[in-house]
Amino acid sequence: MMRQPAFWQHAQGGIAAWALSPLAAMVARATARRVARAGFAVSVPVICCGNATVGGAGKTIVASDLAARLRARGVRVHMLTRGFGGSARGVLRVDPALHRPADVGDEALLLAALAPTFVSADRAAGARAAVAAGAQALIMDDGMQNPGLIKTLSLLVIDGATGFGNGQVLPAGPLREPVAACAARAGAAVLIGTDRTGARALLPPSLPLLCATLRPAPGVEALRGRRVLAFAGIGHPEKFFAMLAEAGVVLAATEAFGDHHPYREGEVARLIRRAAALDALPVTTPKDHVRLHPEQAGMVTAVGVSLAWSNEPAVDALLARLLP
């Protein structure tokens, strides 16, 4: 996936956004018609972790956190995703031992390590398969603008660093639909990190807001003071690099790629050689790590993140209201 254009960023726009505004209006109307369609209802709670923008906002991290909380309550939770970047068609239950990112996408493999995960562009079909397999609750990674399945709770996930970009709809900006339209269907918003763009002010005052920050997984402690070559192909690679630096890791070099970048073996070999020349350890995100060739993955360290909620009881209370 290509990196987002500069005029999509907060407080940007200018002539490029203006020139594309007629197309943006058409996209907004088309999305409004699509989300108004009737969806399919299943017999278990459905939680959707979505966003208003394209690119990474932290949806998968939120979905993973909620899955862990439901499992701790003894709930058999299953995950639903469309498997972005994968070639699978129909409904497929992800098997990490058999499937590769080319089959089901990188995010599906990360989710499958936590809970049974179904890949399906048809969310209703995926939900039926999950319920038939014993799911007591479903968590959708993305799908805020997909009307195929009725959601019990939709969470609008917002990246505090980038917010809603320049506030324009595709292709004039990064929004899939206007913020107000998306927020109207949400049961709560999740703001990850410091609100640097004033995104909070664009939300309805009545919409509950849950705040969280990203913290590195415990494994980062072993890298403190170590020289690393950090590379990432996620929505905002700079956030990964900043997290490592804040944790005390020495960044000898960094390389950023587009979101869901399909790493070639020669490309990764070059990164490993460059790290060795810098007397550094090659480091990447778990999402990138699953996209590496298995033989090369063993030579690269993955550093993950988790959520630290500012009001954890509020999150648990929100989930408790959904359960029988």
pLDDT, one tens digit per residue, over 232-287 is 998 889 989 999 999 999 999 999 998 889 999 999 999 999 999 999 999 999 99
d(CA 160, CA 197): 7
**For residue 171, is pLDDT > 80?**
yes
Both 67 and 152 in a single domain? yes
- Using DSSP's 3-state secondary structure scheme, residue 131 falls into helix
**For residue 85, is pLDDT > 90?**
no
d(CA 191, CA 144): 16
Residue 315 domain-assigned? yes
Both 120 and 224 in a single domain? no
**For residue 64, is pLDDT > 60?**
yes
Q: What pLDDT sits at residue 88?
A: 84
Residue 87 domain-assigned? yes
Task: Supply the DSSP string of 16-52, one letter for each residue.
Answer: HHHHHHHHHHHHHHHHHHHHTS--B--SS-EEEEE-S
Both 50 and 189 in a single domain? yes
Q: Considering only 180-184, 216-220, 252-256, which range has the smallest mean pLDDT?
A: 216-220
- Strand order, beta sheet including 92-93: 92-93, 117-119, 77-81, 137-141, 46-50, 153-159, 188-192, 209-216, 305-309
What is the mean pLDDT of the segment spanning 304-315? Answer: 95
The model's pTM is: 0.92
Q: Beta-carbon neighbour count of residue 52 at 10 Å?
A: 28
Both 65 and 128 in a single domain? yes
Q: Considering only 111-115, 171-175, 218-222, which range has the smallest mean pLDDT?
A: 218-222
What is the mean pLDDT of the segment spanning 28-42? Answer: 96
Residue 107 domain-assigned? yes
Q: Per the structure, how many domains does the chain have?
A: 2
**For residue 1, is pLDDT > 60?**
no
What is the mean pLDDT of the segment spanning 128-134? Answer: 98
**For residue 61, is pLDDT > 70?**
yes
What is the mean pLDDT of the segment spanning 42-46? Answer: 97
Q: What pLDDT sits at residue 109?
A: 94
Residue 237 domain-assigned? yes
Mean pLDDT over all residues of the chain?
Answer: 94
d(CA 80, CA 82): 7
What is the mean pLDDT of the segment spanning 98-127? Answer: 94
Q: What pLDDT sits at residue 2?
A: 58
Q: What pLDDT sits at residue 86?
A: 84
Both 116 and 251 in a single domain? no
Q: What pLDDT sits at residue 27?
A: 97
Residue 2 domain-assigned? no
Both 88 and 206 in a single domain? yes
CATH label of the domain that carries residue 70: 3.40.50
Residue 234 belongs to domain spanning: 218-303
What is the mean pLDDT of the segment spanning 300-317? Answer: 95
Both 87 and 201 in a single domain? yes
Both 237 and 194 in a single domain? no
Both 202 and 272 in a single domain? no
